[in-house]
């Protein structure tokens, strides 16, 4: 169930092994539930058992020893009493050299070490909440604040240190957060672990600074003699200069949390010794806690850039959801290479600057635009590379008119620039001459004579260029670094598609079809938005050990963004399709890292989830009782739509009937109603758009007409097909093959051989009580179930759009096949809306540190719910 997540033993990081905690022998006192606070972070690590390879897991005969192994060593290796007289040859390899911490203080600081057994625990019986042996707490006789190991190093409490690792591996890195003698006389320290990048979910996908480590909340107990050497780990501010890094062993600027592979800024320093559950880091630099910019900076409009925007589904949902949280998020800019998708977005979002160009050219344009703004003194910069000289003096006014020749001969026609209309980077004339171009309107000539001209050909038109840049700067036709609050987008990674037979598994980024992921991150690096949301298919975490997903996380972390990654199923947020997608959040250190919204609907998650990232599926924990709405079916979404034929050509038509379900009432809402649920619906007065199917050719139409109108019907129900006991199809030798009017067979060979004859998808009907696996971009019925339950046609564009959660007011542009592509490639709007609500909470500083949160009841109709509750109170 989407509302219930299985407990797994695998995860998205360096190891699938469960963190192993060192346990004492028979004398262990279980932890009292009321005194569990100190060990909460350790237990959390055990629950999320496998995101990271545990530092405490060492070979029994290797360089590290578990408590159990230590118990079996000879008595002579035990340490003598600190206060006793010991000769040089009797000095143990590990010993405490400070006086014990006073008993009362020790019991206050580490209460879990001094809890007595209950009678029930003493008898060995266990309740359902009792931990297994690997999680039992080692009881202490006393605590210390200083120790010596191997006669080389004196370790103090809260020192950083290297710890023995398995043979052939790098030493582990920890902070010593506890030193104690167990009741059996053995000496231990509690390690709180640091992780190198290769031991986190990034792995080797991005080459981090080798001195950069990430602090964690994972702790465990280890024999004192596992300490190898002292370290100097410097704590640095993400946004500040990494001072003194060159002189330290390692530097740390982020906290790595196992749930949802989360990287966040370090918490403020906590030096209160009584609070042992709060970690501290050794540092010469104090962390300056940066107050969220939203505490001091407010504006009416929060800007969004939608990269690889398609027809705008993702940004539409984000803006709707953010608005419900009280944040006025507006899609200011959008970029896509598909001109029809751009037309759709421009039609539905007239407030958006829509650019039909590649993301690479868009980035190059932004850099040139910044240089122009600098040259015209609209902004300042100390970067000499941005002070680029153009083939004319942009700082002085000049005459836009061409000078006459020396002889005063004016026979040739003179062209005078009337106005600069647009700007782009690339080659609008397709001549291979790449660079900065302006679209020019010529004086005394109509729009049909407008042309694109390179900047080096407009040397005498500096006033027109200056006017265009100045006006464009004021209206923000293009964003400058710092102008964008949020960047969202789903960079295409076609190189990981299963349809690509030449996929590069060794280095996916060498494949040109995956390069857009690099471009997306380059745009983020240049514009430096407060928040980033990247969407992609699940294969980004499956193909090549999830290399591309790990790379995306690594790029954001390298740019000092806090990150977390999760997978959301569309059906879990109120749609009758499953459709699992990956969403990666990024947030500047000054901001709250957005959370993931927990499911609102009870739906089974289908599809293969990457084993190493199984715990990144956004769902309730197993055993958690959640009150979820019932999953939706196809009938809930489209049963109110008027019947249409295979050859329907109308783009607009009346609804013909009232909505029959809650989903249909919501999907019919106009844009103003979605932004304000208190407004009364006027959907009955509106027209229905795009309710027309891809017209099938004569042969396919005849085949579809013969598919029975029943649940599960497909090509296997046609004459001449026989299903074997192994569920594969074969030709029925007792039935003569049937042919169509064209002479082609009723049952095509490709249907019989698809997936080696085991598939039932060719020419398959969907049924009213089904949840669709996913909306596709192609509307041909040859290898997928897309036939209407009771009408002889494929699902219409509007029916597909409803399965994706597009509001009915959203009108699409372009040829029929292009409209199907726009809908199939879109992010499900309800998922984006829920994420937009999470974004709004984070932007306004109301998100907490947990990775998941619960949406308001009856979301997204929360305004309607509040109004209803208010009416009841008045009554």
The model's confidence at residue 14, banded by pLDDT at 50, 70 and 90, is very low
The yes-or-no verdict on residue 453 having pLDDT over 90 is yes
Report the C-alpha gap between 791 and 645 in whole angstroms: 8
Per-residue pLDDT reduced to its tens digit, 713-745? 999 999 999 999 999 999 999 999 999 999 999
Per-residue pLDDT reduced to its tens digit, 468-490? 999 999 999 999 999 999 999 99
Domain 380-401+415-479 indexed as CATH 1.10.274.10 = no
Cβ-contact 202, 554 below 8 angstroms: yes
| CA angle (439 as vertex; 438, 441 as ends), nearest 5 | 130
Report the C-alpha gap between 584 and 564 in whole angstroms: 6
Q: Which has more confidence, 225 or 286?
A: 225
The model's confidence at residue 283, banded by pLDDT at 50, 70 and 90, is very low
Per-residue pLDDT reduced to its tens digit, 582-639? 999 999 999 999 999 999 999 877 667 888 899 999 999 887 888 899 999 999 999 9
Beta strands in 744-871 (DSSP E): 852-853
Q: Tell me, what's the pLDDT at 242? A: 64
Report the C-alpha gap between 779 and 619 in whole angstroms: 32
**Torsion sign over Cα 546, 552, 555, 560:** negative
**Residue 418, CA distances (Å) to 450, 465, 645 in order:** 10, 11, 52
Identify the CA nearest to 547 among candidates 509, 584, 583, 580: 509
Burial class (CB in 10 A: 0-12, 13-18, 19+), 862: middle
Burial class (CB in 10 A: 0-12, 13-18, 19+), 413: exposed
| Residue ranges, CATH 2.40.50.40, the chain | 380-401+415-479
493 is catalytic: yes
Instruction: Rank 66-75, 254-263, 675-684 by mean pLDDT and report only the highest.
Output: 254-263
Cβ-contact 363, 522 below 8 angstroms: yes
Report the C-alpha gap between 426 and 328 in whole angstroms: 34
**Torsion sign over Cα 868, 869, 870, 875:** positive
| Residue ranges, CATH 2.30.30.490, the chain | 33-265
The token duo for 378 is 């609209």
The model's confidence at residue 38, banded by pLDDT at 50, 70 and 90, is very low
Q: Which has more confidence, 167 or 545?
A: 545
The yes-or-no verdict on residue 21 having pLDDT over 80 is no
- Kindly report which listed range (66-80, 122-136, 239-253) carries the lowest average pLDDT score: 66-80
The token duo for 348 is 């539905």
Q: Tell me, what's the pLDDT at 715? A: 98
Per-residue pLDDT reduced to its tens digit, 630-681? 999 999 999 999 999 999 999 999 999 999 999 999 999 998 888 776 666 6
The token duo for 86 is 């010991």
Burial class (CB in 10 A: 0-12, 13-18, 19+), 773: middle
Per-residue pLDDT reduced to its tens digit, 87-144? 445 556 899 999 999 999 999 999 999 987 544 444 444 443 333 444 689 999 999 9
Q: Tell me, what's the pLDDT at 281? A: 53
| CA angle (436 as vertex; 433, 438 as ends), nearest 5 | 110
**Which DSSP string do the residues of 108-155 spell out, in sequence order?**
HH-GGGGPPPPHHHHTT---TT---GGGPPPPEEEE-SEEEETTTEEE
Report the C-alpha gap between 254 and 272 in whole angstroms: 21
Q: Tell me, what's the pLDDT at 509? A: 85
- How much is the mean pLDDT over the chain? 82
Report the C-alpha gap between 164 and 149 in whole angstroms: 12
Report the C-alpha gap between 21 and 196 in whole angstroms: 20
The model's confidence at residue 432, banded by pLDDT at 50, 70 and 90, is confident
Question: By percentage, how much of the chain surpasses pLDDT 90?
Answer: 66
The yes-or-no verdict on residue 437 having pLDDT over 90 is yes
Q: Which of 174, 493, 624, 686 is catalytic?
A: 493
Q: Tell me, what's the pLDDT at 502? A: 61
Report the C-alpha gap between 270 and 287 in whole angstroms: 11
Q: Please state which of the four CATH numbers 3.30.2320.30, 2.40.30.10, 1.10.287.110, 2.30.30.490 is assigned to the domain occupying 33-265.
A: 2.30.30.490
């Amino acid at each position: 169930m989407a509302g219930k997540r299985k407990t797994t033993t695998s995860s998205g990081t360096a190891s699938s092994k469960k963190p192993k905690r060192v346990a004492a022998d028979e004398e262990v006192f279980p932890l009292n539930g009321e005194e569990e606070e100190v060990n909460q972070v350790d237990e959390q690590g055990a629950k999320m058992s496998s995101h990271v390879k545990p530092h405490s897991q060492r070979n029994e005969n290797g360089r590290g020893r578990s408590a159990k192994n230590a118990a079996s060593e000879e008595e002579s290796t035990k340490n003598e009493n600190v206060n006793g007289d010991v000769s040089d040859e009797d000095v143990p390899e590990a010993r405490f050299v400070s006086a014990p911490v006073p008993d009362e203080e020790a019991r206050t600081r580490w209460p879990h070490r001094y809890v007595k057994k209950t009678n029930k625990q003493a008898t060995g019986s266990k309740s359902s909440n009792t931990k297994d042996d690997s999680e039992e707490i080692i009881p202490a006789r006393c605590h210390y604040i200083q120790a010596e190991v191997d006669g080389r190093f004196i370790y103090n409490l809260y020192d950083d240190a290297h710890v023995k690792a398995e043979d052939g591996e790098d030493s582990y890195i920890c902070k010593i957060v506890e030193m104690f003698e167990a009741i059996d006389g053995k000496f231990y320290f509690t390690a709180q672990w640091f992780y190198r990048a290769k031991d986190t979910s990034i792995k080797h996908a991005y080459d981090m600074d080798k001195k950069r480590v990430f602090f964690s909340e994972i702790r465990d107990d280890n024999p004192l003699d596992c300490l190898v050497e002292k370290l100097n780990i410097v704590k640095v501010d993400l946004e500040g200069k990494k001072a003194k890094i060159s002189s330290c062993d390692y530097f740390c600027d982020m906290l790595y949390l196992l749930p949802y592979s989360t990287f966040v800024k370090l918490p403020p320093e906590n030096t209160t010794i009584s609070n042992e559950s709060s970690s501290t880091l050794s540092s010469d630099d104090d962390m300056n806690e940066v107050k969220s910019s939203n505490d001091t900076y407010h504006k009416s409009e929060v800007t969004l850039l939608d990269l690889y925007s398609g027809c705008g589904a993702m940004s539409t949902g984000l803006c709707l959801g953010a608005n419900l949280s009280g944040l006025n998020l507006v899609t200011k800019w959008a970029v896509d290479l598909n001109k029809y998708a751009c037309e759709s977005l421009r039609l539905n979002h007239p407030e958006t600057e829509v650019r039909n160009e590649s993301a690479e050219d868009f980035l190059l344009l932004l850099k040139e635009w910044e240089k122009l703004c600098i040259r015209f003194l609209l902004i300042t910069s100390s970067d000499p590379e941005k002070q680029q000289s153009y083939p004319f003096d942009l700082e002085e006014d000049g005459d836009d008119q061409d000078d006459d020749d020396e002889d005063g001969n004016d026979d040739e026609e003179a062209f005078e620039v009337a106005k600069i209309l647009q700007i782009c980077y690339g080659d609008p004339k397709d001549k291979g001459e790449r660079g900065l171009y302006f679209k020019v309107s010529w004086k005394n000539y109509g729009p049909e004579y407008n042309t694109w001209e390179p900047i080096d050909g407009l040397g005498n038109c500096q006033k027109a260029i200056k006017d265009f840049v100045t006006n464009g700067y004021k209206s923000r036709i293009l964003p400058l670094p710092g102008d964008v609050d949020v960047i969202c987008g789903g960079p295409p990674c076609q190189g990981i598609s299963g349809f690509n037979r030449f996929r590069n598994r060794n280095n996916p980024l060498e494949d040109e079809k995956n390069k857009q992921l690099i471009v997306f991150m380059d745009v983020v690096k240049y514009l430096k938005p407060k928040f980033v949301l990247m969407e992609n298919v699940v294969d980004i975490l499956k193909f090549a050990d999830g290399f591309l997903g790990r790379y995306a996380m690594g790029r954001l972390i390298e740019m000092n963004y806090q990150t977390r990654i999760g997978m959301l199923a569309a059906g879990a947020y109120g749609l009758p399709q499953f459709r699992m997608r990956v969403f990666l959040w990024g947030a500047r250190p000054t901001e709250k890292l957005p959370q993931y919204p927990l499911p609102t609907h009870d739906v089974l998650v289908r599809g293969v989830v990457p084993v190493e990232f199984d715990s990144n599926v956004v769902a309730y924990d197993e055993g958690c009782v959640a009150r979820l709405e019932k999953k939706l079916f196809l009938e809930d979404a489209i049963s109110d739509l008027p019947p249409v034929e295979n050859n329907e050509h109308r783009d607009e038509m009346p609804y013909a009937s009232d909505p029959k379900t809650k989903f249909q009432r919501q999907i019919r809402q106009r844009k103003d109603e979605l932004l304000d649920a208190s407004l009364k619906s006027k959907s009955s007065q509106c027209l229905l758009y795009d309710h027309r199917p891809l017209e099938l050719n004569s042969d396919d139409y005849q085949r579809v007409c013969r598919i029975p109108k029943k649940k599960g019907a497909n090509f296997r129900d046609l004459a001449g097909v026989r299903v074997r006991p192994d569920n594969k199809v074969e030709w029925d030798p007792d039935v003569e093959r049937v042919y169509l009017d064209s002479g082609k067979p009723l049952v095509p060979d490709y249907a019989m051989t698809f997936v080696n004859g085991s598939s039932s998808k060719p020419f398959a009907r969907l049924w009213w009580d089904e949840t669709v696996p996913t909306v596709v971009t192609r509307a041909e019925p040859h290898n997928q179930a897309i036939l209407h339950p009771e009408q002889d046609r494929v699902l219409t564009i509007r029916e597909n759009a409803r399965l994706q959660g597009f509001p009915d007011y959203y009108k699409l542009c372009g040829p029929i096949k292009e409209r199907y592509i726009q809908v199939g490639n879109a992010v499900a709007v309800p998922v984006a809306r829920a994420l937009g609500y999470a974004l709004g909470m984070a932007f306004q500083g109301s998100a907490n540190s947990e990775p998941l949160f619960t949406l308001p009841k009856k979301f997204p109709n929360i305004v309607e719910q509040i109004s209803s509750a208010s009416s009841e109170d008045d009554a």
